[in-house]
Amino acid sequence: MTEALWFFGGALAFQIIGKLFRYGQLINFTSEVGLHLLRLCAEITHDVAFVQTLKYKQLIEAGVKEEKIQLIKDTDKETFDNWKFSLILKFKYALPKPVQGVFAFNDWDSAMKVLDKYLKKEKGFR
């Protein structure tokens, strides 16, 4: 009888510990994927900023008045900032609840600080 209790106790402990390890691996994997998604978003924002710069250069070369270009720049900046804010909100809400705490940011600048910290750690610059 005692052997049966030890057997079932061991089997139960094995199941619990196995689930905890799998849960931890799942959180690590999800966090890693989230950081790579942030990296992709950062690359996209750099590309958009580059295209905007080219657009302003073309407007200047086309002879568009400076006031008009400034209006376009202001509109682009506001639109771009709103897009980045929206992107962070959607990113945070798409994460599973256990992983949301890993990404402790609510705006673009904070997200980029987290990403920079991760990239430095990844490259071994700690």
Q: What is the pLDDT of residues 12-48, one digit of tens each?
A: 777 888 777 777 787 788 888 888 999 999 999 999 9
Q: Which two tokens stand for residue 3?
A: 């052997």
Closest CA to 119 of 35, 28, 44, 45: 35
Identify the weakest region by mean pLDDT among 56-70, 72-86, 102-116. 102-116
Identify the weakest region by mean pLDDT among 40-44, 47-51, 102-106, 122-126. 122-126
- Quick one: average pLDDT of 121-125? 72
Contacts within 8 Å (CB) and 24+ apart, 32-35: 34/91, 34/95, 34/99, 34/102, 34/103, 35/114, 35/115, 35/118
* Confidence check: pLDDT of 94 > 90: no
* Residue with the larger pLDDT of the pair 1 and 114: 114
Q: Average model confidence (pLDDT) for the chain?
A: 87
